[in-house]
Amino acid sequence: MSEMCVRKFPGIVGESAAMAALFVEMERVAALDVAVHVFGETGTGKECVARALHAASSRARAPFVALNAASLSDELFESEMFGHARGAFTGAMSARDGQVAAAEGGTLFLDEVADLTARSQVRLLRFLQEREYRRVGETAPRRANVRLLSAANVRLHERVACGAFRQDLLFRLNVVTLLLPPLRERPGDIPALARRFLRQAAARFGVPAPELTPDVLDALTAFPWPGNVRQLQNEMERLLAFSAGGPLTRDLLSSDVRQEARSPESLSRLRQARADFDRRYLQEALVRFGGNRTRTAAALGVSRQGLGLLLSRHGLQDRDH
């Protein structure tokens, strides 16, 4: 993994091949004022990636504003995004700026963008095309200087295919798409993540951070974490709370984690899942760069020799161009 990328995004933990590639891609697009879409399962840390991109950009000194689009009605979306004038609707007792104005000069992060209604998609598309907006109840346009980052836990192409998402909006949002892998496909990152969350929880509770024993780490690594990083963070807070200042033992883990840890097949399944993901990722990278090892290695943040070892380990063949 590139040391420069690790220093540039200190809030994100990861040493797996997939995370190394993500860091390289983030490092390349952070300073570019282009739209970036982050795809990942619920709990993988999409907002964390968006905040890291903002912090590494030229807009870092300006605001970062996050808006979750899930369950927003058309009227509420427009009011939240663009603001409203006094008397624009029942209950609008005073004028109010929206999130676009709040993010002026900085970054606006729109999470769960796949859940936008058809009308809200039209409003967002118009805003992205014109870089202008109108507060609800006003006719005069306002200019906006914001960078838009978006995220979803479903693939937008699939939503387009079933008619639930506009293709032209998709093209506006995903100038660059970043793939955030689920935690089950990078089990090697679990110990470092668990230690970080344990330290953070201990700081909030005002207690010393205890050590994670090998027995507990084995159990954590063997669990598939359907809730991803967010679930692991909650588990560390629970573990610290239940320890009551004593040692951290496996019996203090939640029942789901303990039961999975008892399965002798669980760790091998996770290792196989990680190997399968790394193999697919390498294949996609090779295809993207026409089989050229030098360009593929640069994109993955490894040496050409290191790429050769990875290809050999996963039984992949490529060709130089």
Number of C-alpha atoms within 13 angstroms, CB side, residue 238?
13
pLDDT at 314: 77
CATH code for the domain of 97: 3.40.50.300
Statement to judge: residues 91 and 168 lie in one domain: yes
pLDDT at 179: 92
Statement to judge: residues 196 and 168 lie in one domain: no
Terminal-to-terminal C-alpha distance of the chain: 25
Q: Give the tens place of pLDDT for each residue, 164-214.
A: 999 999 999 988 999 999 998 888 899 999 999 999 999 999 988 888 988
pLDDT at 265: 57
User: Domain ends where: 112, 146, 181?
Assistant: 181
Give per-residue burial for 277-291: e unless 16+ CB within 10 Å, then b. bbbebbeebbeebee
Q: How far apart are CA 29 and CA 43, in angstroms?
A: 23
Query: Residue 279 falls within a domain, yes or no?
Result: no
User: Domain ends where: 236, 266, 296?
Assistant: 266
Statement to judge: residues 173 and 206 lie in one domain: no
Statement to judge: residues 205 and 132 lie in one domain: no
Is the separation of the CB atoms in 50 and 66 below 8 Å?
yes
Domain range spanning residue 193?
184-266
pLDDT at 4: 44
pLDDT at 2: 45
Low-confidence ranges of the chain (pLDDT < 70): 1-8, 86-95, 260-274, 276-277, 301, 317-321
CATH code for the domain of 211: 1.10.8.60
Query: Residue 280 falls within a domain, yes or no?
Result: no
Statement to judge: residues 241 and 167 lie in one domain: no
User: Domain ends where: 266, 283, 300?
Assistant: 266
Statement to judge: residues 140 and 175 lie in one domain: yes
Give per-residue burial for 140-159: e unless 16+ CB within 10 Å, then b. eebebebbbbbbbbbebeeb
Residue 182: alpha-carbon gap to chain centroid:
10
Statement to judge: residues 137 and 202 lie in one domain: no
